[in-house]
Amino acid sequence: METPNRAYKAHVLVLPYPAQGHINPMLQFSKRLVSRGVKATLANSVYISKSMHKDPISTIDIDTFSDGHDVGGYDSAESPEAYLTKLRDVGSQTLASLIEKFDGLGRPVDALIYDGFLPWALDVANEFGILGVVFFTQTCAVNSIYYHVHEGLLSLPLSPDSTILLPGLPPLEPCETPSSVYTYGLYPSFIDLVNQFCNVDKADWVLFSTFYVLEEEVVDWMSKLWRVRTIGPTLPSMYLDQQLKDDTDYGINLFKPHSTVCMNWLNAKPSGSVVYVSFGSMAEVEPEQMEEIAWGLNQSNYNFLWVVRATEEAKLPNNFINDTAEKGLVVTWSPQLEVLAHESIGCFVTHCGFNSILEALSLGVPMVGVPYWSDQATNAKFMEDVWGIGIRAKMDDKGIVRREVLEACMKEMIEGEKKNEVKMNAMKWKKLAKEAVGDGGSSDKNIDEFVAELA
């Protein structure tokens, strides 16, 4: 047991929303803090903690709180609204108990870094008189949209022919806003997204997993409201600045990756010849869309590596895996960073989750965007029109990307007229991402400033 005379500068408790895409960036930020002499404890839900595959040599301590669904997690709840309500009610109590436990062990918590999806955590921090630090895992642009809705500055429902004009953002069509804004009313739990801002004015720090030059204008605008700092990209250090020598992986996976199979397969493929396809840890692709993707990949004649989670495999066309075995590999999960960093990858077909975009951007990989819901349409807009690192695949009137469209997009990224322009932009952003977290970069300085206040 450690004594109250601690060898570390401070102790932070890090509370992500219980999902892979939220855990990863907060875990990586924690590693940056540890490298600066701060003790970091990541608090996962009991269910997530039981389910995860953890790196045994991680520098981050892991503890648990309860979301009220210790056995089945999110999937065992009656509805998204029921889950979020219990997460708030039970989570508040068990989070307070966890902080009290550390006090009793002589390891008091100096700051609570909590996911923006969990604004109730700030009340717990205030109860104990510790710093409350909100951490947003989505872009500043997306959160600006949510903020304007919360403040009544962007009225819903949106007019179909309107143009959304917000400070620091390019003009947006309604369909380029988050799905819960564009299709207002279809997502009853939407109120919880905009309620991220119910008490943000009381937070001591407002952190974003983006980096400054990526969203400069909207960051400057937000900085007039709150104490905003960008601390990303939140990737393992060895893929960026290489300051943390053993940081080669996130260290926590909710799905076990087929690392050896994937890398051996990629090693046998020519440079730039492979289309990598992954839609993240949560997207549930419609069967019709799954079939269109399958046949788009097949008729493209490109080599492809496709991540299809075990729960989605039944949607694949009959015998597809066997029929395409000569040019394709289908796995239930991949080591995505290793894959994207491999020289054989020509482009990345992605759902445009922000973590995936940051990974591809930081590794210089062109993208084909197939967004589904949440923040993904907005991310895809920026990916194509602002950052110039890929193209969006157009959907038909049924919301389906047809095989011919997907095939044309992949061809454009691998051998088309836009290939060189997009690749040049991708390499530019790769350099800027590395500079941001490197010694003296914007994110590096912001993290130093944060640690100085903790100490």
Same domain, 200 and 148: yes
Count the alpha carbons within 13 Å of 174 in the hemisphere toward its beta carbon: 14
Tens digit of each residue's pLDDT, the chain (455 residues): 343 446 899 999 999 999 999 999 999 999 999 999 999 999 999 999 998 876 655 788 999 999 999 999 998 999 888 999 999 999 999 999 999 999 999 999 999 999 999 999 999 999 999 999 999 999 999 999 999 999 999 999 999 999 999 999 999 999 999 998 998 877 766 677 788 999 999 999 999 999 999 999 999 999 999 999 999 999 999 999 999 988 999 988 888 899 999 999 999 999 999 999 999 888 889 999 999 999 999 999 999 999 999 999 999 999 999 999 999 999 999 999 999 999 999 999 999 999 999 999 999 999 999 999 899 999 999 999 999 999 999 999 999 999 999 999 999 999 999 999 999 999 999 999 999 999 999 999 999 999 999 98
Same domain, 283 and 389: yes
Burial label for 376, CB within 10 Å (0-12, 13-18, 19+), is buried
Same domain, 203 and 259: no
Q: Which two tokens stand for residue 67?
A: 């979301």
Kindly state whether residue 6 falls inside one of the protein's structural domains.
no
Same domain, 308 and 371: yes
Same domain, 176 and 290: no
Kindly state whether residue 74 falls inside one of the protein's structural domains.
yes
**Is-contact 277 293, C-beta < 8 A?**
yes
Kindly state whether residue 125 falls inside one of the protein's structural domains.
yes
Range of the domain at 427: 255-432
Same domain, 41 and 180: yes
Q: Which two tokens stand for residue 381?
A: 């807009």
Kindly state whether residue 85 falls inside one of the protein's structural domains.
yes
Same domain, 230 and 318: no
Neighbour order of strands in the sheet with 11-15: 61-65, 39-45, 11-15, 111-115, 131-136, 205-208, 228-230
In terms of DSSP bridges, do strands 328-331 and 131-136 run parallel, antiparallel, or are they unpaired?
unpaired
Kindly state whether residue 126 falls inside one of the protein's structural domains.
yes
Nearest Cα to Cα of residue 331 among 345, 353, 313 = 313
Kindly state whether residue 304 falls inside one of the protein's structural domains.
yes
Same domain, 165 and 270: no
Domain containing 76 — which CATH number? 3.40.50.2000
Same domain, 322 and 201: no
Same domain, 285 and 353: yes
Kindly state whether residue 5 falls inside one of the protein's structural domains.
no
Number of domains observed in the structure of the chain? 2
Same domain, 191 and 327: no
Q: What is the C-alpha R_g of the chain?
A: 22
Same domain, 390 and 416: yes
Q: What are the residue numbers of the active site?
A: 22, 115
Kindly state whether residue 312 falls inside one of the protein's structural domains.
yes
